[in-house]
């Protein structure tokens, strides 16, 4: 049997954002000079090399941590159409021909109702497939922490992909599901919590999200993001003309200033700036640039609301503008951006100044 190589780069994304994820992937492929054929379904997109060479180099250089719209990033084999009488043989044969070995198997589906409906079928096939792959030596104890992803798009349609440590999401389907805290004033609180998980290593929370810190929340009302800051023990300047949650204000950790978040200036340097204002990206970006170039904060997390079309182009333009502004001002910083699970028509940006 001839060896089968991964020629496709497979990415999961939020349904409705396929064109944005694909535009981002094509941007990276163009940078690497790789010609690919695009394909997409609901909640996923892929690029397949036209020269049928392995995708590994492109997959590695377009590092997952740099991607914005991708929830997961895999080096993938051609999709398989399975027999409903025997769904396992085709999978086993492709694994054998790939000569892949791995330490884990993850069964995943698109983030759609049709995808969720496959849960019963996947559960029935998981143990038999795992046993057969162990017997064949593909699933084993030491295999470089590689993981086999079996991506089910239908009951008889799968695509096998491989992920590698430090270049993947460590979450099933690339989704971080958080429990909504009942005392929080709004569900937007989950966006800031997810952003912390995404951008700050858990072992650094005690230093970078510490109780003695001061933060500014621009566009704070009714207090979803302020609530998270208060839970970490921070003192918060909540800037918004709207009303704040009364129970939250009773903590005594908040100075609510009924002022324009775009114009307000902090009395001293803040440890954190957070902002979830609903406005045009260019206007929010100009405000954040002012804070960062003047070093009014050490770290910032803010959302950019996206247009209905060409969202990747808009995000890329905004991030490039921010990078250039900081460079011109002589401010060194690390910038990250992600379309989080709890985001909708927006992306979340994190900036950490390097002192």
What residues form the annotated binding site? 188, 221-224, 240, 260, 276
Q: Can 65 be counted among the known catalytic residues?
A: no
Q: Which residue among the candidates 191, 305, 309, 310 is catalytic per the annotation?
A: 305
Residues 6+ apart with CB under 8 A from 83: 89, 90, 156
Do residues 99 and 3 lie in contact, with contact meaning Cβ atoms separated by under 8 Å?
Answer: yes
Annotated binding residues for S-adenosyl-L-methionine: 188, 221-224, 240, 260, 276
Q: Is the dihedral of CA 242, 243, 248, 250 positive or negative?
A: positive
The Cα–Cα gap between 220 and 209 comes to: 18
**Cβ–Cβ < 8 Å for 335, 350:** yes
**Position of tokens 């025997």?**
86
Tokens of 269: 């340097």
Full DSSP string of 314-342: HHHHHHHHHHHHHHHTT--EEEEEE--TT
Let me know if 55 is exposed, middle or buried by CB neighbors in 10 A (0-12, 13-18, 19+): buried
Catalytic positions? 305
């Amino acid at each position: 049997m001839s060896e089968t190589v991964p020629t496709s780069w497979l990415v999961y994304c939020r349904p409705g954002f396929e064109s944005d994820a694909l535009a981002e992937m094509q941007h990276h492929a163009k940078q690497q000079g790789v010609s690919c054929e695009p394909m997409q379904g609901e909640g996923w997109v892929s690029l397949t090399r036209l020269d049928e060479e392995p995708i590994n180099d492109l997959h590695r250089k377009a590092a997952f941590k740099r991607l914005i719209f991708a929830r997961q990033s895999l080096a993938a084999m051609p999709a398989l159409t399975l027999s409903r009488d025997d769904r396992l043989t085709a999978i086993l044969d492709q694994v054998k021909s790939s000569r892949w070995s791995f330490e884990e198997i993850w069964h995943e589906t698109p983030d759609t109702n049709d995808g969720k409906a496959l849960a019963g079928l996947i559960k029935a096939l998981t143990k038999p497939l795992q046993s057969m792959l162990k017997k064949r030596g593909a699933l084993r104890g030491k295999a470089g922490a590689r993981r086999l992803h079996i991506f089910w798009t239908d009951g008889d349609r799968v695509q096998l992909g491989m992920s590698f440590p430090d270049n993947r999401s460590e979450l099933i389907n690339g989704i971080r599901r958080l429990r909504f805290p009942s005392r929080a004033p709004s569900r937007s609180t989950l966006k800031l919590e997810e952003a912390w998980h995404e951008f700050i290593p858990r072992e650094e929370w005690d230093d970078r999200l510490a109780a003695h810190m001061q933060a500014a929340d621009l566009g704070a009302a009714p207090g979803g993001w302020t609530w998270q800051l208060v839970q970490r023990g921070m003192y918060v300047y909540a800037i918004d003309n709207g009303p704040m949650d009364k129970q939250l204000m009773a903590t005594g950790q908040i100075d609510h200033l009924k002022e324009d978040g775009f114009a307000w200036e902090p009395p001293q340097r803040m440890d954190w700036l957070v902002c979830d204002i609903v406005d045009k990206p260019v206007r929010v970006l100009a405000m954040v640039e002012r804070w960062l170039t003047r070093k009014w904060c050490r770290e910032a997390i803010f959302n950019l609301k996206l247009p209905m079309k060409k969202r990747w182009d808009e995000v890329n333009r905004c991030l490039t503008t921010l990078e250039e502004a900081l460079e011109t001002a002589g401010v060194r910083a690390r910038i990250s951006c992600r379309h989080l699970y709890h985001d909708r028509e927006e992306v979340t940006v994190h900036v950490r100044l390097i002192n």
